[in-house]
Amino acid sequence: MIVVYRDEEALCDTFGSIQPRNLYSCMIHVTSKYIRNYLSIEPQFVVTDWIVFLVDTMSKREVHGENGFEEFGGYMAAKRAKLNNQFNESGDNGCDSSIFSGVTININGHVNPTNLRAVFLQHGGRYEAFPTSSTDFVIAANLSEATKRKWGTKTLRPEWVVDSIAAGEKLDSNKYFLYDFNEENKQKTLRQAFSLENNAGGSSAAAARFTTSPKRNNTEQEQMSDSPKKGKRLMAWEDGFLEEFWDHSRLHNISTMKRTLQHHICKLRRSKNTHNFTELKNYEVELRLENCSQNQDVSYRSGDAMLFLVDLDCFFVSVGRINRPHVNNVPVVVTHFSGNKTISSNSDIACASYEARKFGVKNGMWVSQARELCPSLEVIPYDFEAYQRVSMQFCNIVAAMTLDIEPGSCDELLVDVTSVINNLPGSSPLSLAQFLRKRIFEETQCKASVGIVLKTQPIGDLPGIGYSLKEKLETQFSNIRTCEDLQQLKLEDLKSRFGAKKGDILFNSCRGIDDSSLQFDFERPKSISIDVNYGIRLTEQSQLEKLLLNIAKALSKRALEAEACGTKLQVTLLTQQKGAPEPKKSGGHGYVDVHNKSGQLINPTRNHLIFYKSILSLIRSVTAIPVSMYRGIGVHLTGLKFDFDGKKDGLQTLMSSLFKQGDKPTSKADQFNCVSEPVVATVEAPKTIKLNSVAKEDVDLNVLSALPDDIAMEVATFYGLDKLKEYCAANPEMPTTSRAAILDQKFKYPKVKITTEVLPASPTLVPNLSESFLGALPDDIREELESDIEEVKQIKSAVHPSANNAITCRLPQHKNKPNPAKLISAVVTQANISVNDAPEEEETEILRVVSVAADETPESTPFNRINWWRYNSKDAIPSEQNSTNFTVVTRRVALKSFVVPSLNEQSEMPDIRRIIREGVEFLPNPSREDLNGLIDYLDELISGPFMKQTQVLLKFLNRLANLPSTSQKWAKIFKLMIRICQSKIQRIFGFPMELHDIEDDFVEPIEVDVKE
DNA sequence: ATCCTCCCCTAC
DNA sequence: TAAGGTAGGGGAGGAT
Ligand SMILES: Nc1ccn([C@H]2C[C@H](O)[C@@H](COP(=O)(O)OP(=O)(O)OP(=O)(O)O)O2)c(=O)n1
Ligand SMILES: [Mg+2]
């Protein structure tokens, strides 16, 4: 069977969106796996001018053995047969004797004499490139630990061959074993030795020497669970949660291992001059011995670039099998929890053996599903340390051949072997591939596959380049004839000359097959991210804050490792879908909605406090869904800068981030100065809510719902978990169908058909909060609440209908638009929109009215709940009961409120206070620039005029200035500010502001000691 | 046109 | 119970 791909687009159609640089390697990889797993035959790649797969039609069965080695596959088998024939033919040709007739050996590593194989063949023996069950002996001077475990009992010293030839007869092999396992046994405990002796009885010498797996011992069932010393699993907000999670997360581990390889390669490449290319030398020796320059079974034009894709076969399983011979040849998977009689396991399968794959078991599948396909499935546990070791060994072997390596993953390397092939006489792609596979196996006991990619020089061969383009490139640019030439052109040039799309295709296709497209600057990633979508079950904001702080710290650490600072943060929040059940997978995220939000940082930074506060601010802006619904959190740092001196970061960045208002606050709407939240989770002073005057049973859930979310939570928490649950239950998330469930189809919750967004006919926007309830709240909360209500009232009055229906279509776009600083959105019903003629007023009145009838585009209207919760009364909460009673068209309205002065995007007093406190704490020497934001803010407050807030703030500053913990410098600044403000107030109003005797208004303790 | 944000998808 | 991460390409559609 021959498969030819010439068309990049067809390729993408076939294999999905593959990252272009690896396009052809991936193609070979994917195709080989497909062929191997579904056709049960092994592919052999033959590369011609373009890419051709020649599939060896030898079926797997024909090369079957008994020890698992047959998995090496038809390709290997074919190659092996080929090599063996070659060797054995040469043996036939010049047979000196038949001493070794009927004996099959494999030679591992380097032996003396170096021509041992040739000598052996000349004396009638057979040679196998790889050891199999039919191999009688392995000849070696020493073995790696892994090989020793597997083949040690069959391994003879080279002297056996030499001595036998000298003696003219085959000598007793028992005297030439490389390892004396009996000797080793003596050093073990008596009991161990005894059991080994017993086992050895009656077996052949080789079998007797086979040590049993140390891990297996006598028990059939392997202990799958972790060491039971820690019965308690850490909750997401607890310190150590992340580390514990990462210790067990295979996906985290393979990602980390990949990065480790990248850094490793980088380091090796930097010390190229002193690097020891031992495998290159080995290969050279091998070539001299084999003298098989005629072995051109891959069509290859000298000089062409040649890439290998080297990949370990079923990586985790192969490693796991090293010490578990009993799972050779059987369907086996690597997973955390195998399940038992009573509990079926929803644990992910990281890696399935090929035997298991024949049943349809795949990597990533759940054990429960796999067991349906394959009831006899065996299970082995993870061993991340071993994976790391093998991954590194693997990398080092290839790196000892060439350093032109790009790690594709922890078990996959993209290798540019052009120079190796071209500089070694007699070398060929297949012999090199063969050699690498052999060496990898010898060192790691893991089998590898090698795909081969060849670059064609003429650009005319590239997909998408026909006669016309070829002509243009040749005549209009500087004589572009080859791919390499083409790559010299800049993307911009190509795009400007040939159009964006064509330019891209040109740019990419010439790299898809070009060795120079391997990238070795792994040290410059485009993004650094941490996602935790497992084990997230929070009940309180403070828990979220603890978790976020830990994530922020970890992110900061990762940025430091990468020597990067970031200018942009993106958070991804997963929230439980409405009505979604608790996921089957324990701790899993289940069916979720995905919320993304990104924001620009003013300066490149890796300061974890800035991260922390920014993340919090982003989360707040993306959704008001309560933390109890959170199922996953991701934080991505992008816009990375590597030339930014991290040392200058820290306080300096924090300072300017703290107080520097954007130059044009409204023009860069999405830029945020990141400070709005407590520096540490404990900062939120435990406001003891004074609810004495309200009996618990008096708390109306609906009133609770009408409160701003955080406050509602606080109140609910006060009343205990039941109330909290009730609250959450009464505030289900809107059904959302437009969001794809993340990660996999299988996470998709059966679609809930949204018919319409149903609201009562005449909802009031302003919650009717009972006086007694309000009165029971602490002063500052009540104050905030009342001002919220006031705001809502004003918003309500500011809402104008959209006279232009066309605007209604724009919702889907607007909904994703970064909110300008003062843009708030609310839900109103049609009834609420006074259908009058009011023209567009001042910007300050209505910035934008965006609305849409929910029943027009229900699918495309993921509902942002934040303001809905915040600003709508209990009546507005849709519920199962009333849903059929109303046919009201709802509109989602985003509008700009009247101008609310803000400091770092924050306008609420607790936030403002926090910002200022942080300034005092982290800015021992504030510059004028640092203070501008605060000064402007005060200025705006006074100009507003927002006298109440001005008063509160000035009193706060006054108090702060008098605190012993406040530095003299800051105290002076505050006093000065107050004086300036007072004089301005005096100028405007004719009298200064009363600032004394109300100090109790801001009694929160000033946090100290937030230093790490 | 190109950039940006949000979203989606892919490989391991 | 279970450890559903990480990095990157690319597209839609609005902003510039
Ligand atoms: N969904 C997945 C895919 C892979 N892996 C891990 C386990 C694999 O052993 C390793 C390498 O992935 P590969 O795609 O290379 O798959 P294998 O090495 O298992 O098999 P193959 O022989 O097809 O390469 O990554 C995982 O944990 N979860
Ligand atoms: Mg693999």
Q: Which helix (H) or strand (E) holds A894?
A: strand A890-896
Highest mean pLDDT (candidates A217-226, A245-254, A337-346, A661-670): A245-254
Atom 27 of ligand 1: nearest residue by CA position? A350
Q: Answer whether A339's CB lies under 8 Å from A367's CB.
A: yes
- Res A926: pLDDT: 78
Tell me the CA–centroid distance for residue A664 and ligand 2, in Å.
52
Return all residues near A823 (Cβ < 8 A) that are at least 6 apart. A669, A847, A848, A894, A895, A896
pLDDT tens by residue, A382-398 = 999 999 999 999 999 99
d(CA A83, CA A295): 10
A18-27, A36-45, A304-313, A652-661: least confident range: A652-661
* Sheet with A630-638, edge to edge strand ranges: A528-532, A630-638, A566-576, A592-605
Per CA to C1' distance, which residue is closest to B12? A409
Tokens linked to A634: 């991701």
A110-114, A228-232, A555-559, A937-941: least confident range: A228-232
Highest mean pLDDT (candidates A89-98, A425-434, A781-790, A973-982): A973-982
Return all residues near A207 (Cβ < 8 A) that are at least 6 apart. A153
Q: Across residues A122-131, what is the average pLDDT?
A: 79
- Res A398: pLDDT: 92
- Res A452: pLDDT: 59
pLDDT tens by residue, A142-171 = 777 667 777 788 889 988 988 888 888 888
Q: Which residues pair with A532 in a beta bridge?
A: A633
Per CA to C1' distance, which residue is closest to C14? A813
Torsion of CA A722, A725, A727, A728, to 10 degrees: 170
- Res A995: pLDDT: 75
How far: A602 CA to C15 C1' (Å)? 20
Tell me the CA–centroid distance for residue A518 and ligand 1, in Å.
22
- Res A411: pLDDT: 92
Q: Give me the residue label for tokens 């050779």.
A: A328
Q: Which ligand 1 atom sits nearest the alpha carbon of residue A316? A: 9
Q: How many C-beta atoms lie closer than 10 Å to residue A373's C-beta?
A: 16
Q: Answer whether A100's CB lies under 8 Å from A116's CB.
A: no
Q: How many C-beta atoms lie closer than 10 Å to residue A257's C-beta?
A: 21
Q: How many C-beta atoms lie closer than 10 Å to residue A779's C-beta?
A: 12
- Res A952: pLDDT: 84
Q: Answer whether A957's CB lies under 8 Å from A949's CB.
A: no
Tell me the CA–centroid distance for residue A191 and ligand 2, in Å.
40
How far: A946 CA to C1 C1' (Å)? 56
Q: Across residues A944-949, what is the average pLDDT?
A: 72
- Res A478: pLDDT: 63
- Write down the ipTM of this complex: 0.98
Q: Answer whether A926's CB lies under 8 Å from A897's CB.
A: no
- Res A579: pLDDT: 85
For chain A, give me the number of helices (H) and strands (E)? 36, 20
Q: Across residues A670-677, what is the average pLDDT?
A: 32
CA-based radius of gyration for chain A: 35
With a cut of 70, say whether residue A47 has pLDDT above it: no
pLDDT tens by residue, A341-386 = 899 999 999 999 989 988 999 999 999 999 999 999 999 999 999 9
End-to-end CA separation in angstroms for chain A: 64
Tell me the CA–centroid distance for residue A353 and ligand 2, in Å.
11
Q: Across residues A677-702, what is the average pLDDT?
A: 23
- Res A837: pLDDT: 23
- Res A993: pLDDT: 78
Ligand closest to the CA atom of residue A356? 1
Burial A467-480 (b: 16+ CB within 10 A, else e): eebbeebeeeeeeb
Residue of A315, A384, A534 to mutate, ligand 1, most atoms within 8 A of C-beta:
A315
Cβ of A313 less than 6 Å from ligand 1: yes
pLDDT tens by residue, A283-315 = 988 888 765 544 444 556 677 677 787 888 889
Q: Answer whether A550's CB lies under 8 Å from A558's CB.
A: no
Q: Which residues pair with A633 in a beta bridge?
A: A532, A573
Protein chain A, residues 691-720, with a C-beta closer than 7 Å to any atom of nucleic acid strand C: none
Highest mean pLDDT (candidates A305-309, A504-508, A973-977): A973-977
3-state SS class at A546? helix
Cβ of A520 less than 7 A from strand C: no
Per the prediction, chain A carries an average pLDDT of 62
- Res A568: pLDDT: 94
3-state SS class at A159? helix
Q: Across residues A169-177, what is the average pLDDT?
A: 88
- Res A32: pLDDT: 52
pLDDT tens by residue, A521-561 = 788 899 999 999 999 999 999 999 999 999 999 999 999 99
**CA distances to A7, A18, A34, A460 from A456, in Å:** 14, 20, 25, 9
Highest mean pLDDT (candidates A36-40, A180-184, A657-661, A933-937): A933-937
d(CA A802, CA A793): 19
Binding residues for strand B (Cβ < 7 Å) = A 15-19, 22, 26, 29-30, 251, 254-255, 315, 364, 408-412, 492, 495-496, 500, 568, 570, 594-598, 600, 670, 738-740, 743, 816, 818, 862
Highest mean pLDDT (candidates A376-385, A400-409, A690-699, A961-970): A376-385
